[in-house]
């Protein structure tokens, strides 16, 4: 059970390995981290005619949150949409939200353009109401329409019961332009596209330090290699450790948990009669989706502790049975956790430090579209000297206060979990 479902279900041809960096290279742009943000930045640069690009990855392509997540591809950020409007005002909030919808489209386009086999399911995403209060959904639907011109379809309780066979829910909103997919196959497909376009990828090449040479930077790795580059982009997310202290202090590595059941065959129909992915209206929500091989993938909870697969399975199995008691004796074949990076403000952190280092991190638990958005924004900035879209400057690099911040994050999560419970 030590592999993730995503690792176990990679076909060997979808998972080429890349060499470690053992010599000295010179490139225009060196990207640190082969997750979605790093891969999207590299592909964005190559598509804009910047051909001298290398990615360094300490483990393997998609090793972190990018290859372990729930696989939901939809609009928005980790920061709540209402909060986004409150903080930025409608025009800027709407423009930033639109960039995430553009990113959903771009991901879809790249899957087609680069022939990426990643089990794409286009039945959308359901926001299921955990609370017995239709107004909650109607308010959310109206807010999305009024503030963002986005239409989410209302699904009545009765209609939802035909799709999700659970007494736990009270109606839903359907985001029909969203989709879900196998994130590790997608990450590997992006890597292949980057290589085909002339980009270089190096795995098992942990960056140990970045040396400042004035107009150039020299990036040193534990594999004995080094890269000299005009631009260096940091996209390490929850696995940045102490590489760039200014950035490390600005993100919290937060763990989340996922499991996948055995293949259920026709039995999946006893719980779900829809191909849509699902999450719910609690702060501490579950998220889950049917997989193409009839398994159920189930995720949820955030914590400051990475747990063993057995502990993850025990927690999530109970969560699943609260919603679908009819799955009581179903076997779980995979369970895993992984680290996401959160900024204090729950928005992506994009930009350039005073010393010239570029960065894209802090995508939290809502990162598939925003990491792609980040890649586009950073590629535009480097290739065409374009400024960041208005609104992002509002979200800088405030310190998360290290272990104190982690404790604060855990307490906050427990507080909202209690609120969910009392509201229910």
Confidence bin at 67 (pLDDT 50/70/90): very high
**346 within 8 A of 78, measured Cβ to Cβ:** yes
pTM value > 0.85: yes
Q: Give me 142's structure tokens.
A: 């109206």
The pLDDT confidence band at residue 14, using thresholds 50, 70 and 90, is low
Confidence band of 329 (pLDDT split at 50, 70, 90): very high
- For residue 319, is pLDDT > 90? yes
Q: pLDDT tens, 172-182?
A: 999 999 999 99
| Residue of 87 and 13 predicted with greater confidence | 87
| Contacting residues for 2 by C-beta, under 8 A, at least 6 apart | 309
Q: Average pLDDT over the chain, rounded to whole?
A: 93
Dihedral sign, Cα of residue 300, residue 302, residue 303, residue 306:
positive
pLDDT at residue 420, as a whole number: 61
- Residue 419's pLDDT is 72
* CA diameter of the chain: 65
pLDDT band at 407 (very low <50, low <70, confident <90, very high): low
How would you class 47 by CB atoms within 10 Å of its CB: exposed for 0-12, middle for 13-18, buried for 19 or more? middle
Q: Over the stretch 181-233, which tens digit does the pLDDT of each residue have?
A: 999 999 999 999 999 999 999 999 999 999 999 899 999 999 999 999 999 99
Strands 172-175 and 153-155: antiparallel
Task: Check pLDDT > 60 for residue 114.
Answer: yes
Q: What percent of the chain has pLDDT over 90?
A: 80
Lowest mean pLDDT among 46-50, 176-180, 268-272, 411-415: 411-415
Q: Note the pLDDT tens digit of each residue in 330-373.
A: 999 999 998 888 888 999 999 999 999 999 999 988 999 999 99
What does the pLDDT read at residue 252?
85
Average pLDDT over residues 120-135: 97
Residue 421, pLDDT > 70, answer no
pLDDT at 16 exceeding the cut of 90: no
Q: In angstroms, rounded to a whole number, what is the distance separating the alpha carbons of residues 273 and 278?
A: 12
DSSP reduced 3-state for 210: strand
Rounded mean pLDDT of 148-156? 98
Of the pLDDT bands very low, low, confident and very high (cuts 50, 70, 90), residue 408 is low
Between 424 and 385, the more confident residue is 385
For 268-324, give the DSSP string: GGGTB----EEEESSSS-EEEEE-TTS-EEEEEEEESS---HHHHHHHHHHHHHHH-
Confidence at 320, pLDDT banded by 50, 70, 90: very high
pLDDT tens-digit map of 288-312: 999 999 999 999 887 766 678 898 8
Lowest mean pLDDT among 58-67, 364-373, 383-392, 396-405: 396-405
How confident is residue 32, by pLDDT bands cut at 50, 70 and 90?
very high
Output the pLDDT for position 15. 64
Please write the tens of the pLDDT for every residue from 243-292: 999 999 888 888 889 999 999 999 999 999 999 999 999 878 899 999 99
Higher pLDDT, 297 or 400: 297
**Cα gap 29→42, rounded to integer Å:** 8
Q: Can you give the CATH number for the domain in which 284 is found?
A: 3.50.50.60
Per the structure, how many domains does the chain have?
A: 1
Percent of the chain with pLDDT over 70: 93
Give the CA radius of gyration of the chain.
Answer: 21
| Cβ(383)–Cβ(233) below 8 Å | no
Domain hosting 255: range is 5-423
Spatial separation of the C-alpha atoms in residues 232 and 402, rounded to whole Å:
25
pLDDT attached to residue 238: 84
Mean pLDDT value across residues 12-22: 80
Give the confidence band of 375 by pLDDT, cuts at 50, 70, 90.
very high
- Does residue 4 have a pLDDT over 60? yes
């Amino acid at each position: 059970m030590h592999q993730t479902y995503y690792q176990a279900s990679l076909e060997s041809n979808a998972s080429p390995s890349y060499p470690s960096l053992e010599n000295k290279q010179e490139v225009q742009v060196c990207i640190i981290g082969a997750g979605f943000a790093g891969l999207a930045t590299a592909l964005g640069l190559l598509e804009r005619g910047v051909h001298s690009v290398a990615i360094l990855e300490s483990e393997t392509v998609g090793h972190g949150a990018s290859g372990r997540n729930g696989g939901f591809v939809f609009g928005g950020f980790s920061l709540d949409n209402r909060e986004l409007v409150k903080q930025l005002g409608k025009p800027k909030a709407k423009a930033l939200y639109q960039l995430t919808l553009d990113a959903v489209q771009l991901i879809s386009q790249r899957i087609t353009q680069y022939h990426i086999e990643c089990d794409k399911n286009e039945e959308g995403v359901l926001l299921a109401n955990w609370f017995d209060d239709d107004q909650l959904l109607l308010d959310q639907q109206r807010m999305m329409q009024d503030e963002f011109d986005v239409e989410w379809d209302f699904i009545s309780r009765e209609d939802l019961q035909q799709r999700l066979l659970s007494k736990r829910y009270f109606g839903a909103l359907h985001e029909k332009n969203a989709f879900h997919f196998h994130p590790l196959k997608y990450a590997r497909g992006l890597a292949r596209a980057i290589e085909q376009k002339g980009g270089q990828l190096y795995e098992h090449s942990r960056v140990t330090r970045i040396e400042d040479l004035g107009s150039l930077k020299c990036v040193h790795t534990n594999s004995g290699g080094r890269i000299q580059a005009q631009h260096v982009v940091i996209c390490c997310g929850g696995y940045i450790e102490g590489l760039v202290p200014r950035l490390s202090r600005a993100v919290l590595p937060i763990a989340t948990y996922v499991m996948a059941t055995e293949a259920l065959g026709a039995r999946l129909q006893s719980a779900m009669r829809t191909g849509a992915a699902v999450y719910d209206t609690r702060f501490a929500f579950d998220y889950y989706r049917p997989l193409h091989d009839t398994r159920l993938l189930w995720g949820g909870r955030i914590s400051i502790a990475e747990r063993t697969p057995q502990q993850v399975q025990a927690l999530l199995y109970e969560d699943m049975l609260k919603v679908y008691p009819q799955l009581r004796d179903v076997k779980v074949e995979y369970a895993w956790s992984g680290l996401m990076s959160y900024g204090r403000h729950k928005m992506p952190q994009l930009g350039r430090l005073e010393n010239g280092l570029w960065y894209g991190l802090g995508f939290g638990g809502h990162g598939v579209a925003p990491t792609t958005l980040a890649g586009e924004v950073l590629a535009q900035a480097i290739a065409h000297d374009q400024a960041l879209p208005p609104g992002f400057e509002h979200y800088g690099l405030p310190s998360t206060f290290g272990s104190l911040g982690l404790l604060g994050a855990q307490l906050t999560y427990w507080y909202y979990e209690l609120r969910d419970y009392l509201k229910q």
